[in-house]
């Protein structure tokens, strides 16, 4: 079975329409058939009365009975017949439409004034509806009169009605199908509303799902909000515990550093170096894990960040440092460019990349951004060889130990970009240095 609810509604509507039209057609055909039979019997009863008056006015000369008003009594096998029979002599007079065929009458005649309804066999072998009554009280003879109509006449009327009613059934079917489709669209609207509410939730335009869905789905929205709040609480607790752990480990690391300096002062340079390297590796690991714990990701609510002021704030801060004062910092970001995300995440991302570029640049650093949330940070430093770019993104890897740092700048930036489902690529800048190109899958808007 298809997973599409629209397709299911369409098929269900088509099946229900077909079923309703079939039942409606059968019911209407049955009702019309009964109506036609009642009308036919009423007409037969009228013809029977006319036949009685014609026989009464013939003054006993049955062989010269005048024709009845309906011309079908004169047309052979027209489906409309009459017959008069003398019960004493057995003589029979028939309408020309019978063509010499004799209708079989029931053995027991009706009582005077009664009319019997019969089902007789017609001249063409088909069944007929017939009415029989005695005429003796009117003419002074034991006569029995029968007027009959062939069911083929009634079936022809039924077929004609059905063919004329088929377009109406088609229009009704189309109306029901359209109504079912409209009903399906209305029924699926809450799902579209839920998708828009979730999109607004992810974009930071609302904080909860409750109130955005119909009353029937309010329980689901409340459960979702409770789950979301639980995740936020768990994330906050995890970040706090990570920060507590990091701060708790820094005191032992400081003691290790002091111990390394004591050993170095006593001339045990090799042991001091081992302790220093161990402390540096642990410090780098703590710094990275602490940075990762504070990444909120795109689901952070209320996160709409104008990129240009943020980039200028970072570059101005770095330009005031002794190492950054010698560099030219350029920000070429559209003023109206807005990213969906957490300001702290973007601050950490750009700060790590610009700080890393400032350490390696010879004279200039530039940050640019364009459509599609593509951000570039470029410098005119020595760059990174293509075969070493993968290693540069590995945690704590330093390609040049002569430059201070932990080797975590690019790795932390990659963690933040990965949390947003984006990509981070290393390439050569137009000045020969490093170009870090970031693509975020969150929408960027101008204005």
Q: Cα(first)–Cα(last) distance of the chain, in Å?
A: 45
| Residue keyed to tokens 């009613």 | 165
pLDDT for 62 equals 55
- Could you tell me what percent of the chain has a pLDDT over 90? 8
Mean pLDDT lowest among 8-12, 56-60, 211-215, 297-301 = 297-301
pLDDT at 301 over 50: no
Q: Residue 138 has what pLDDT? A: 52
Q: What is the pLDDT of residues 350-380, one digit of tens each?
A: 888 998 899 889 999 999 987 767 899 999 9
Question: What pTM did the predictor assign?
Answer: 0.45
Place 107 in a pLDDT band, splitting at 50, 70 and 90: confident
pLDDT band at 201 (very low <50, low <70, confident <90, very high): confident
- What's the confidence (pLDDT) of residue 376? 92
Cα separation, 161 vs 159, whole angstroms: 5
Task: Look over the chain and give the mean of its residue pLDDT values, rounded to a whole number.
Answer: 78
Q: Which of 434, 438, 436, 437 is nearest to 362 (CA)?
A: 434
The CA-based angle 26-30-34, given to 5 degrees, is 170
pLDDT band at 297 (very low <50, low <70, confident <90, very high): low
Mean pLDDT comparison of 56-60, 179-183, 208-212, 262-266, highest-scoring range: 179-183
Which residue would you say has higher pLDDT here, 7 or 368? Answer: 368
Strand 364-370 with 328-332, pairing? parallel
User: pLDDT by residue (tens digit) across 227-267?
Assistant: 877 877 776 776 666 666 666 666 676 677 777 777 777 77
Q: Which CATH architecture has domain 298-446?
A: 2-Layer Sandwich (3.30)
pLDDT given at position 33: 83
Domain regions of the chain by residue span? 5-156, 204-294, 298-446
137 vs 45, 68, 134, 140, 271, CA distance in Å?
A: 17, 21, 8, 6, 144
Lowest mean pLDDT among 208-212, 303-307, 326-330: 208-212
Least confident of 126-135, 233-242, 288-297, 326-335: 288-297
pLDDT score for 19: 86
More confident residue, 300 or 374: 374
Q: Regarding predicted confidence, which is higher, 87 or 408?
A: 87
Please check the confidence at residue 46 and state whether its pLDDT lies above 70: yes
Topology (CATH level 3) of domain 5-156: Beta-Lactamase (3.30.450)
Asked if 366 and 332 count as a contact pair (C-beta separation under 8 A), the reply is yes
Number of H helices, E strands in the chain: 9, 13
Give which of 74, 81, 148 is closest to 118, Cα–Cα.
Answer: 148
Residue 356 buriedness (CB in 10 A; 0-12 / 13-18 / 19+): buried
Answer with the residue of higher pLDDT: 280 or 326.
326
């Amino acid at each position: 079975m298809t997973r599409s609810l629209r397709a299911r509604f369409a098929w269900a509507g088509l099946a229900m329409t077909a079923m309703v039209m079939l039942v409606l057609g059968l019911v209407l055909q049955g009702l019309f058939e009964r109506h036609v039979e009642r009308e036919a019997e009423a007409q037969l009863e009228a013809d029977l009365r006319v036949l009685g008056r014609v026989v009464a006015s013939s003054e006993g000369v049955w062989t010269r009975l005048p024709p009845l008003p309906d011309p079908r009594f004169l047309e052979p096998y027209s489906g409309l017949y009459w017959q008069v029979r003398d019960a004493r002599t057995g003589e029979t007079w028939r309408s020309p439409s019978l063509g010499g065929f004799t209708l079989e009458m029931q053995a027991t005649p009706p009582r005077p004034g009664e009319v019997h309804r019969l089902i007789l066999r017609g001249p063409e072998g088909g069944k007929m509806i017939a009415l029989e009554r005695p005429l003796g009280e009117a003419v002074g003879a034991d006569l029995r009169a029968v007027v009959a109509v062939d069911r083929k006449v009634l079936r022809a009327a039924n077929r004609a009605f059905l063919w004329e009613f088929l377009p109406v059934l088609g229009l009704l079917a189309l109306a029901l199908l359209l109504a079912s489709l409209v009903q399906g669209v209305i029924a699926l609207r809450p799902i579209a509303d839920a998708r828009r509410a979730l999109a607004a939730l992810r974009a930071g335009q609302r904080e909860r799902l409750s109130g955005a869905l119909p009353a029937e789905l309010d329980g689901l929205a409340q459960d979702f909000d409770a789950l979301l709040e639980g995740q936020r609480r768990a994330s906050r607790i995890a970040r706090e515990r990570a920060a507590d752990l990091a701060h708790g480990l820094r005191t032992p690391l400081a003691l290790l550093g002091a111990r390394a300096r004591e050993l170095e002062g006593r001339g045990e340079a090799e042991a001091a170096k081992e302790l220093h390297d161990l402390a540096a590796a642990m410090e780098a690991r703590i710094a990275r894990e602490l940075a990762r714990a504070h990444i909120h990701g795109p689901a952070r609510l209320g996160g709409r960040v104008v990129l240009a002021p943020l980039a200028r704030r970072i570059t101005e801060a770095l330009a005031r440092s002794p190492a950054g004062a010698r560099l030219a910092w350029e920000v070429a970001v559209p003023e109206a460019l807005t990213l969906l995300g957490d300001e702290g995440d973007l601050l950490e991302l750009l700060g790590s990349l610009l700080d890393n570029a400032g350490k390696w640049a010879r004279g200039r650093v530039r940050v640019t951004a364009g459509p599609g949330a593509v951000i570039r940070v470029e410098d005119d430093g020595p760059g990174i060889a293509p075969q070493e770019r993968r290693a540069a993104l590995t945690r704590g890897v330093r390609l040049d130990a002569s430059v201070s740092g932990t080797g975590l700048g690019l790795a932390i930036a990659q963690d933040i970009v990965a949390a947003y489902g984006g990509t981070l690529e290393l390439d050569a800048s137009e000045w020969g240095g490093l170009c870090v190109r970031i693509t975020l899958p969150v929408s960027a808007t101008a204005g």
